[in-house]
Amino acid sequence: MFMRTYLIAAVSENGIIGINGDLPWKVKSDMIRFKQLTVGDGNETSAVIMGRKTWDSLPDAHRPLTDRINIVLTKQIGWTDEGAETAFYPGQAMEISFAEGCEETWIIGGAGTYAAMFD
């Protein structure tokens, strides 16, 4: 099986992707586009990989992100949360996505996760 991997981020002109554990702006069309991209056409299984702080920043009503396998990358041994698959290093996160049969995997942040995934 071939798995496509993408990075998705909204970045301000001065390089900001988040402030105090939240997005620096709220644009409904951005959220709609994010969901369209990361869910796919509905015929494929998709995963999102995020850091634990990004997971924590999701509103309860949107956690886990629906119609996607949610993989949380954390350094906290023993961390679990309902709706999340836990990974402790980037390779493990990718292995989970592959084992779940995902055709697409989206790396959705935050900054530490972006850095770790491409280190």
Please give the pLDDT value at position 89: 96
Asked whether residue 17 is assigned to any structural domain, the reply reads no
CATH code of the domain containing 78? 3.40.430.10
CA angle 73, 77, 79 (to 5 degrees): 65
Per-residue pLDDT tens, the chain, 119 aa: give them. 678 999 999 888 888 888 887 888 888 999 999 999 999 877 789 999 999 999 999 999 999 999 999 999 999 999 999 999 999 999 999 999 999 999 999 999 999 999 999 88
Range of the domain at 78: 4-8+30-117
Burial of 3 per CB tally in 10 Å (0-12, 13-18, 19+): middle
Does some domain include residue 19? no
Measured distance CA(38)–CA(106) in Å, rounded: 6
* 52 domain-assigned: yes
Q: Answer yes or no: is 64 within a domain.
A: yes
C-alpha to C-alpha distance for 48 and 68, rounded to whole angstroms = 7
In a domain? residue 20:
no
What pLDDT is stored for residue 37 in this prediction?
Answer: 94
Query: Cβ neighbours of residue 98 under 8 Å, at least 6 residues apart?
Result: 1, 3
Asked if the structure places residue 15 within a domain, the reply is no
Contacts of 32 (CB under 8 A, 6+ apart): none
pLDDT score for 118: 87
Residue 111 falls inside a structural domain: yes
Which of 26, 46, 25 is CA-nearest to residue 35? 46
In a domain, 21, yes or no: no
Q: How many domains does the chain have?
A: 1
pLDDT for the residue numbered 1: 64
